[in-house]
Structure 1
Amino acid sequence: MRKKLIEVALPLEAINAESAREKSIRHGHPSTLHLWWARRPLAACRAVLWSSLVDDPSSWPDKFPTEEDQKRERERLFDILGRITIETDKKGNHKQVVRGLVSWDDIKNPAIIDEAQKEIARCLAWDRGEEPPTQPDAVRDYIAKYAPPAYDPFAGGGSIPLEAQRLGLEAHASDLNPVAVLINKALIEIPPKFKDLPPINPENRQKKGMNFWKGAQGLAADVRYYGQWMREEAFQRIGHLYPKVALPKEYGEDAEATVIAWLWARTVKCPNPACGCQMPLVKSFQISTKKGKEAWVQPQIDREQTPPRIQFEVKTGKGEAPDETVSRKGAVCLACGTPVGLDYVRSEGCGGRIGAQLMAIVAEGNKGRIYLSPTDEQEQIANSAQPKWKPESELVNNSRHMTPVIYGMTKYADLFTSRQLVALTTFSDLVSEVKEKAFQDAVAAGLSDDNVLLNDGGTGARAYSEAIAVYIAFAIDKIADYNNNICTWHINRESIGHLFTRQAIPMSWDFTEANPLSQSSGNINGSIDWVLRVLENARTEINGKVLQHDATAIHENDSQPKIVSTDPPYYDAVPYADLSDFFYTWLRPCVSAIYPDICSTLLAPKSPEMVADNFRHGSKQKAKDFFESSLIKVFYRINNLNHHDYPVTVYYALKQTETDDNENVASTGWETILEGLMQANFSIGGTWPLRTELSNRMRGQGSNALASSIVLVCRPRPETAPKITRRQFLSELKKELPKALKTLQQGNIAPVDLAQASIGPGMAVYSQYAAVLENDGSPMRVRTALQLINQLLDEYLTEQEGEFDSDTRWALTWFEQHQFNEGQYGDAETLSKARNTSIQGLEQAGILNAKAGKVRLLKRSELPSDWNPEQDNRVPHWEITQHLIRALDQTGEIGAAELLAKLGNGGEIARDLAYRLYNLCDRKGWSGEGIGYNSLVISWPEISRLARESKKSEPVQGSLF
């Protein structure tokens, strides 16, 4: 069995940098085809798959006999996979750029893919004792002939199958969720069916000069054409519901503009009998904070009416918006000031008595947004809409993920205004008309009128028209994400926010209604454009196979060995079926005739879904038992179908947050996935923390948000694997884990991920044995092994304190006991003697304040902004770290780099201290304080690079002698 590159080494910094950057790439990126939750970055999936296919040089000692030869070859492979280079932009600025297979920009170059595929073919040929092919077409044919298919049994958003297809493998994908299945079909199965086919629409057929259509470009052109036709048809039918708005006279006589958004406030009747007005529930009256474009809503109370009526007027320019009227603590009536509890609001909602009042209108002007006060006419037109159909399916009554339910919004139809329902049903109805129109045009264009359906493998006129309908249905799903009454208005970006900003359907009080017939956010043309941009870049060289299938069940295709890479559900973190029903309620009417088997259920299947849902299964224990037994079945199946020349790779991204009575840290989610692997006779041979989030998102969301997925590299455990004792396990763990942790830190793993990443090398020791026996002869539980690994992690970080100066060791202990709060002077002095320092010296060092018998550490906000370490004769590591974080927060990586350049080599230890401080914050639950330490480590590579650049640019004093 030859070791693969992923089992020995990876260029983590390059992979992580590009995986994080990918989150900010939008146009044409496959993730923009259709929303999916917890999608892995394509760069990470591509790296994992390629390095699982390519042999490590140590597997070929006859070709690379020495360690130096192997190292040199490994570096060559790293250069193909991903390398960080410094490039100069047009303005002369230096910046880090990732090049190679993991780069989103580079994979658009066919030569990059050719080079990567050539390495895969070379390993296949060497293993067969043959000369490897060299020409791109021959390489692709060789891979298609000899490489096993790649398979993801939890395909979800399709990242893994898509990247397998990009590398030249036949991609197989399955999922239980119908939305996931349809996404995967649209990504890897449909485009190859219509490879290089010219468009069939009359407009493109009449154009001259475009005789060659590559890949799915022709299909994309047809999606654009028929999508535009659908928009125009919809405008004819419902355009009267989206009237233009009259502009003030300063814009000209009879001037009017297209409305792009209506801002609404939900209302309930004030419970005060002396008032009784419809009180608006508003989180923010601010509309725009953009400089020079400030705008807000000013409520006006009309007390001449009984009950009083709240009216709204839009104000612009300098001014201050009123305070919110609703929060987690409750609401307040604007008319009488009566405080109202949320229990009352919920009861009103459950009684169907929550209303909505138009608060402001946003129109599109020549020079940006125009904010206008509401009008009775605009409100009346909105309320006049009468939908002929609405999705009556019930939302799951789970307040953790579906907050609107507790306010009486129990059906999917309740998540939309009447006008939104009319728009979405109109678009949905038009899909069948698009399909028929495209079919007639396809026959006229010469496609076979064989009447074989897309679902039955058809490639003729009928199947082609159905393919167009699928992509247009996806565009309707995209506008549903922006056209519902949960959407809010971004006051800094002056745009509409979509529903799924997180893995839940939250409640929103003031909401935004988009105009799907406009040219702004949430419009149908824009949604179609997102879809066709993905389609234009689709892979069409290799066929893909997508099935709706329960991952726990054996399938007839399992007889063919496959390379398995998968991202299983994260225990109870994401209820995919519950969330995807939002889209499925609109997708199903559009495509059920195309894929009747996939759309055979009214909602996404719930009971067999592999999620540890306490609500669904009746108790925490039953949910755990279900998930664990299901996972064991999945891993047994994977072990049986996996091609044993290749490792199985499993992604997992769940933070350990549970502690027992003795404060031992473990995680039911991690315990369950590892137990499943162990029981299915896998051993873990490698683990890689792959960054999947941007560092600025980490700084914004808090230290509890994982930055990385941990990729477990697994092989079947030999039947001859021995058993060892607990003492032997601990001895081996203490030997192996510190080395692995040091490597992880050198690789700049985020502190938030260190505990998760340490599981890998720890469980690699545990999993290579048939059993670890406790003193009574019983097998050690996975949970116990996890607790021991976490204890050794704490010990490792504590031992690192010996590298810090005495002032810093005092500060660490004091911080653990008091954070930045005051403590007794006597206690501080006693501790200072034990740490071989003094309170006076610590005060002179500028890290604490001693006054009136009390001592406390200085907060970063209290540190001097003009601190210069070159002029400070006492610079503890604590002070360095706090000043670097302060500079990072206030002046970004450039400011932190300028400070690091002044510190010289003394600054490097700040990163090690940040790991220790984050560990303390995590254990204490100080998530807000932990963000700073986590951010410093995440930003360290760039801070260090900028500091080095700064030093290079400094003038050097010459000498004559």
Structure 2
Amino acid sequence: MISDYPIKSPRKLIEVALPLDAINAACAYEKMPGIGAHPRGIHLWWARRPLAAARAVLFAQLVNDPGYQQGCGFKYGKNKKEAAIERKRLFKIIEELVLWENTTNEEVLERARVEIRRSWREVCELNKEHPQAAELFNPEKMPAFHDPFAGGGAIPLEAQRLGLEAYASDLNPVAVLINKAMIEIPPKFAGRPPVGPEIENKQGKSLELPKIWPGATGLAEDVRRYGSWMRDEAQKRIGHLYPPVEVTEEMARERSDLKPLVGKKLTVIAWLWTRTVKSPNPAFTHVNVPLVSSYILANKDGKEVYVKPVIEGDKYYFLIKNGTPTTEAKDGTKATVRGANFRCIVSGAVIGSDYIKTEGKAGRIGQRLMAIVAEGTRGRVYLPPTLDAETVAKDAAPTWRPSGDVPERLTGGTCVPYGLKEWGDIFTPRQLVALTILSDLLSEVRELVREDALASGLSDSEKGLGDGGSGVIAYAEAVSVYLAFAINRCADFCNSVTRWVPGNQKVMNLFGKQAIPMTWDYPEAAILADTVGGFAPASKYVADCIGKLSPAAVGFASQADAQTQSISMAKIISTDPPYYDNIAYADLSDFFYVWLRKSLRLFLPGLFSTITVPKVEELVAAPYRHGTKQKAETFFLTGMTEAIHNLAEQAHPEGPVTIYYAFKQSETSGQDGTSSPGWVTFLSAVLSAGFAIVGTWPLRSEQEFRMIGMGANALASSIVLVCRKRSADAPSVSRREFIRELNGVLPEALDEMTKGSGEERSPVAPVDLSQAIIGPGMAVFSKYSAVLEADGTPMSVRTALQLINRFLAEDDFDPDTQFCLHWFEQYGWNENLFGEADVLARSKSTSVDAMKEAGVLQSGSGKVRLLKWAEYPSDWDPRTDKRMPVWEALHQLIRALKQGGESASGALLAALGGKAEAVRQLAYRLYTLCERLGQAEDARAYNELITSWTGIESVANSIPKPSDPQLSLFDN
């Protein structure tokens, strides 16, 4: 445990201000497709932090804020004017640092490192009399960094890039291996030239090569070279399974585009298959009919291609047609738009999902070839299926198949109900043969690399990677790790639950989203071809991504449980914990683990000692593992509290800890019977672990249109919590004292957030301001052991958040209404991204789902919008409404007034009880707001209610007060 002796710790930049606009813009750019090689491409992982976000947060976490500070008996910093100028200079460094083109720009990175080292020396000078100064405050050596939930490795990589010795740990062995590949392996061989034979171009000449190999570029080049050797060797062994296709006269009979190609043998890019089942029609049970979601192969304007089924009695075959596709082609054999419901192609009978599931579980779902995609002289060429092509595919005889169960429950769907229960089931026989051959070739590659490395002069050490080696054996194993990643990339594209995308005419990998849904027609990529899904492009891509690493310091990755690990001791910590119940990391990563285990277990036995990825200890709220949703949530929160407590006890005492938070909140019943969003619960866990929260920053760290967001509500942002350990002797204060301190702290904090950059544009977007203001507010709340209510009970986090938000909202409305008010001010009745709404909702201690249920907004397909008064139901009864925001009551009153006059609205007002005055105040506020925004029609609606209020109130007062005890709810 770190000493509790007082530390003189200046506030860090992240505790005061951030140039959020620049960071968010860089994150959005980095997430765009087509930006080229990226370290994330080394191996797929789910919901990684953008490098720009991680880099900016770490820099701001490590650099002292220039503002004047006093505490622990010391003074530090500049006056307010000087501090603003200096802070602007630091912002400029961050703005350059986060740009994608500067990811490996050593000049820009070194400027950042200089600032980090300068701040560290200042801290060491302030603490030179500390009894542990030699251990904790050595001006010549920065503290190391640790991420205990390292996942895909973005945060440790950026810590290393900024010059810190980086440690990464995770319970998941796939994540550990990714982190080894990101931060541990590259520094061992930095600056070394490649050892493998040079690759020749198509003319048989060696490529022009650089004279020096900075960073990991030499290692990357060897991954290319030995990847090329593996592909060539695989071609010799299984090339017969991937024959070219000859264009025949018959194929070209009605296809003018094929006539110039007759007699030519074309390289196949992919074979397009459809699954089949026996027709449910008793007269055609001998026919295997296709289950096709769409016959469209290419949909670019003017170059459309589709499959046309031709039915002759109880037989059918497929033709390829050019031109505008028919409606039937768009729908395939689907009987309905959604779900596994099809129609029999020969009889028209409906094939329901239950029937298909039964056939699948019995192993009776088959496959039939629909089309062949080949490489022509001017792009893709689509050919009809041939008997030879089907025969070759079905004659493939795999000698090995991965075991382990495909997860039965996943957000976004799973293929298990249709009979694909084990990992080996989701690959075709030919795919299994190819992936197995490539995996087996890795042992041969290791020997080749070892011999070549020895001949190049690399140390003949017998230590491998697992023993910390850096000689020939370790190097051979390192190259094998990256080539195993290339095999995994192939596996992601080469399985039977991928999709063919007509837009860009290529294979879409399985993990375009965090699920393993069933696909009915699927492409089988030619794994030996230079195309998407091919091994050569995969190994080249992995190599290109290695070149984006920056081994500026040593790194270490290990398998450890965050709840019990001791690696964090005296280290800087930034981490991105699991997303509650959104992503089943362990279940999903088994897909990759089974192939990695086959390839790498021989020299990394510790990482691959189990048949599948460990799951019992994984900190996610999975009800199917724990029996009930409540037990799963308890498991998650208890474990997360313990893990965060572990960090609070071990983190270097000089600076804050940063924790990324992003999961779709679910509402659960708290002890007091009220809704308790996951956001509030998580904050409670952080405070219970011994942390004080000194800052919260919303970062746009997710793609707006991720696959999981298509048709679902998915986060578009993360919240970074900035935490410091709370003093063990922290006092308690009364509610009155807490509010008084808030009123003193928040105005200045708000001014910093909106004007602190010195620029005209606010560094904190208006929609983010409610979330950002939580930081300084919770800093006041969480520095005390407790804030005591009038009855002596501790104030809840939820209440504290409501008090903080009232400062910004300047009203006493309920959380749902506060959300609606601020959303309306930003977007009116227009729809906007769910992620935007989710950030604002969490800051108001509510949730989008809860407000959707309350009936004030519409949410779906990744978008959210407020409902207009005309969309509210006319049969609404406030006496039975268990969640009635003032916003809902107001717009129901407007609806009643518009549709039934004062008598109808008066009847509703009578049932509202204590909400009547709040409704009137909200109407005034919205009228003023609409006038300011120039929304005349909306302003008239609120004005009409206000001018009719006396008459409405008169009607309400004439109605006898009900004795229903539920009315007491309306005053809460």
TM-score after normalising by structure 1: 0.78
Could you report, residue by residue, the CA deviation over 1:906-928 in whole angstroms, capped at 9, with x for unpaired residues?
Answer: 87999x99xx9xxxxxxxxxxxx
- The 1-side partners of 2:372 and 2:39 are apart by 34
- The 1-side partners of 2:321 and 2:507 are apart by 20
Residue 947 of structure 1 aligns with which residue? Answer: none
Alpha-carbon spacing, 1:274–1:635, altered in 2? closer, same or farther (3 Å): same
> Does residue 66 of structure 1 match 2:79?
yes
Choose from 765, 769, 776 the match for 2:784: 769
Choose from 411, 414, 430 the match for 2:441: 430
Letter in 1 for 2:784: Y
Could you report, residue by residue, the CA deviation over 1:777-828 in whole angstroms, capped at 9, with x for unpaired residues?
Answer: 44344466567778665454566699899999xxx9997464558989xxxx
After TM superposition, list the pairs within 5 Å mapping 1:445-524 onto structure 2: 445-524=456-535
> Does residue 719 of structure 1 match 2:734?
no
CA contact (8 A) 1:296 1:321 kept: no
> Does residue 157 of structure 1 match 2:152?
yes
Choose from 307, 317, 322 the match for 2:323: 317
- The 1-side partners of 2:689 and 2:277 are apart by 56
> Does residue 186 of structure 1 match 2:181?
yes
Shift of 1:737: 7.5
Alpha-carbon spacing, 1:784–1:424, altered in 2? closer, same or farther (3 Å): farther
Shift of 1:584: 0.6
Query: Which stretch shifts more, 701-710 or 310-319?
Result: 701-710
After TM superposition, list the pairs within 5 Å mapping 1:404-443 onto structure 2: 404-443=415-454
Shift of 1:375: 1.3
Shift of 1:282: 1.4
Residue 268 of structure 2 aligns with which residue? Answer: 259
Shift of 1:342: 0.8
Letter in 1 for 2:142: A
Residue 867 of structure 1 aligns with which residue? Answer: none
Residue 779 of structure 1 aligns with which residue? Answer: 794
Residue 80 of structure 1 aligns with which residue? Answer: 93
- The 2-side partners of 1:773 and 1:430 are apart by 67
Q: What is the alpha-carbon root mean square deviation over aligned residues?
A: 4.1
Question: How many percent identity over aligned positions?
Answer: 46
- The 1-side partners of 2:125 and 2:744 are apart by 39
Could you report, residue by residue, the CA deviation over 1:645-686 in whole angstroms, capped at 9, with x for unpaired residues?
Answer: 110000001233427699965423x34432321121111000
Residue aligned with 2:514, SS: coil
Shift of 1:245: 1.2
- The 1-side partners of 2:576 and 2:660 are apart by 5
- The 2-side partners of 1:800 and 1:388 are apart by 62
Residue 94 of structure 1 aligns with which residue? Answer: none
Of the two structures, which has the highest relative contact order with CA contacts closer than 8 Å and spacing of 6 or more? Answer: 2
- The 1-side partners of 2:504 and 2:82 are apart by 54
Shift of 1:144: 9.2
After TM superposition, list the pairs within 5 Å mapping 1:932-951 onto structure 2: none
Residue aligned with 1:268, SS: strand
Query: Which stretch shifts more, 417-426 or 365-374?
Result: 365-374
- The 1-side partners of 2:607 and 2:229 are apart by 28
Residue 534 of structure 1 aligns with which residue? Answer: 545
Alpha-carbon spacing, 1:356–1:53, altered in 2? closer, same or farther (3 Å): same
> Does residue 116 of structure 1 match 2:109?
no
CA contact (8 A) 1:399 1:405 kept: no
Alpha-carbon spacing, 1:3–1:733, altered in 2? closer, same or farther (3 Å): closer
> Does residue 299 of structure 1 match 2:299?
no
Alpha-carbon spacing, 1:272–1:380, altered in 2? closer, same or farther (3 Å): same
Residue 200 of structure 1 aligns with which residue? Answer: 195
CA contact (8 A) 2:187 2:554 kept: yes
Alpha-carbon spacing, 1:339–1:755, altered in 2? closer, same or farther (3 Å): farther
Unaligned runs of 5+ in 1: 83-99, 131-141, 825-830, 843-847, 855-875, 882-904, 917-961
Residue 146 of structure 1 aligns with which residue? Answer: 141
Shift of 1:621: 2.1
Letter in 2 for 1:298: K
Alpha-carbon spacing, 1:214–1:734, altered in 2? closer, same or farther (3 Å): same
- The 1-side partners of 2:392 and 2:866 are apart by 61
Alpha-carbon spacing, 1:275–1:815, altered in 2? closer, same or farther (3 Å): same
Residue 943 of structure 1 aligns with which residue? Answer: none
Residue 21 of structure 2 aligns with which residue? Answer: 13
- The 1-side partners of 2:498 and 2:702 are apart by 24
Q: How many residues end up aligned between the 2 structures?
A: 816
CA contact (8 A) 1:325 1:334 kept: yes
Could you report, residue by residue, the CA deviation over 1:431-453 in whole angstroms, capped at 9, with x for unpaired residues?
Answer: 11111111111122222222221
Could you report, residue by residue, the CA deviation over 1:214-269 in whole angstroms, capped at 9, with x for unpaired residues?
Answer: 22221111111111000000011111111111224502441121111111111111
Alpha-carbon spacing, 1:231–1:664, altered in 2? closer, same or farther (3 Å): same
Alpha-carbon spacing, 1:59–1:637, altered in 2? closer, same or farther (3 Å): farther
After TM superposition, list the pairs within 5 Å mapping 1:40-59 onto structure 2: 40-59=49-68
Choose from 677, 683, 693 the match for 1:674: 683
- The 2-side partners of 1:568 and 1:411 are apart by 29
Choose from 570, 580, 605 the match for 2:614: 605
- The 2-side partners of 1:406 and 1:576 are apart by 21
Residue 346 of structure 1 aligns with which residue? Answer: 357
- The 1-side partners of 2:508 and 2:601 are apart by 29
Residue 705 of structure 1 aligns with which residue? Answer: 714
Residue 222 of structure 2 aligns with which residue? Answer: 222
Residue aligned with 1:635, SS: helix
Alpha-carbon spacing, 1:281–1:715, altered in 2? closer, same or farther (3 Å): same
Residue 656 of structure 1 aligns with which residue? Answer: 665
- The 1-side partners of 2:621 and 2:394 are apart by 41
Residue aligned with 1:191, SS: helix
Residue 106 of structure 1 aligns with which residue? Answer: 102
- The 2-side partners of 1:702 and 1:539 are apart by 38
- The 2-side partners of 1:255 and 1:547 are apart by 53
Could you report, residue by residue, the CA deviation over 1:583-605 in whole angstroms, capped at 9, with x for unpaired residues?
Answer: 01111111112211111111111
Residue aligned with 1:471, SS: helix
- The 2-side partners of 1:549 and 1:766 are apart by 33
Alpha-carbon spacing, 1:354–1:792, altered in 2? closer, same or farther (3 Å): same
- The 2-side partners of 1:66 and 1:591 are apart by 58
Residue 379 of structure 2 aligns with which residue? Answer: 368
After TM superposition, list the pairs within 5 Å mapping 1:565-604 onto structure 2: 565-604=574-613
Letter in 1 for 2:156: P
Residue aligned with 1:769, SS: coil
Residue 381 of structure 1 aligns with which residue? Answer: 392
TM-score after normalising by structure 2: 0.77
- The 2-side partners of 1:804 and 1:22 are apart by 26
Residue 921 of structure 2 aligns with which residue? Answer: none
- The 2-side partners of 1:30 and 1:156 are apart by 13
Residue 168 of structure 2 aligns with which residue? Answer: 173
Query: Which stretch shifts more, 725-734 or 630-639?
Result: 725-734
Letter in 2 for 1:80: I
Residue aligned with 1:392, SS: coil
- The 2-side partners of 1:283 and 1:172 are apart by 47
Shift of 1:59: 4.7
CA contact (8 A) 1:666 1:787 kept: no
CA contact (8 A) 1:689 1:749 kept: no
Alpha-carbon spacing, 1:698–1:5, altered in 2? closer, same or farther (3 Å): farther
Residue 631 of structure 1 aligns with which residue? Answer: 640
Letter in 2 for 1:126: E
CA contact (8 A) 2:148 2:568 kept: no
